[in-house]
Amino acid sequence: MNRVKLHDKEFEIFITYAQINENVKKMALRISNDMKNEDVLFICILNGSFMFTAELFKEIDLEQAEVTFMRLSSYSGTDTTGQVKKLIGLNESVEGRVLVVLEDIIDTGNTIVEVLKLLKEHKPKDVKIATMLLKPEKFNNKFPIDYVGMEIGNDFIVGFGLDYDQKGRNLKDIYKIVE
């Protein structure tokens, strides 16, 4: 499938599942090597990161690794509202553990800043960020991101968990908007 239509917009193929898979495997290897002997809790930021989390977590080679899921939303349509809500769903004990926050994509960085701020209140030993995709243009290197799968341009994308008004999350490949 080279093109898809979701609501009123057309999208064209941009990153194939094979490319995503290759990047995610490399990331999982790096994280597994870096986190040896740590008590690691992976935190999936719902909804967009669910597929990335599944792909990454099965490649994590750490016997004690755990995963949990949290929710927070900042996007409506193709434009950020800038209004980040609070975190829901963190029931695990976080104190003294190494947290790896899993994001689908970092655009302005507002979401991840808010997530970090809220997680740090729970006194973890350390918090690392792993994002499948990064849009460097708006993020502008505000702070270092520990693990980045791939950098992309400013285009709006869907697929592999990412949505356009809730549509397109099921697409196995990633598509970008046709302007």
Catalytic positions, written as ranges: 107
Q: Determine the Cα–Cα distance for residues 20 and 56; give it in Å rounded to an integer.
A: 10
Candidates 131, 158, 167, 179; CA nearest to 13 is 158
For the window 24-63, what string marks contact with Mg ion as x by the rule CB under 5 A? Answer: ------------------------x---------------
Tokens found for residue 24: 């995610």
Closest approach of ligand IMP to the CB of residue 105, in Å: 5
Binds 21: which of ligand IMP, Mg ion, none (CB < 5-8 Å by kind):
none
Tokens found for residue 151: 């950098």
CA atoms lying within 13 Å on the CB side of residue 18: 1
Determine if 168 is a binding residue for Mg ion (CB under 5 A).
no
Binds 156: which of Mg ion, ligand IMP, none (CB < 5-8 Å by kind):
ligand IMP
Tokens found for residue 143: 């702070």
Residues of this chain, 95-134, that bind ligand IMP according to CB under 6 A: 103-111
Which chain residues interact with Mg ion by CB under 5 A? Answer: 48, 104
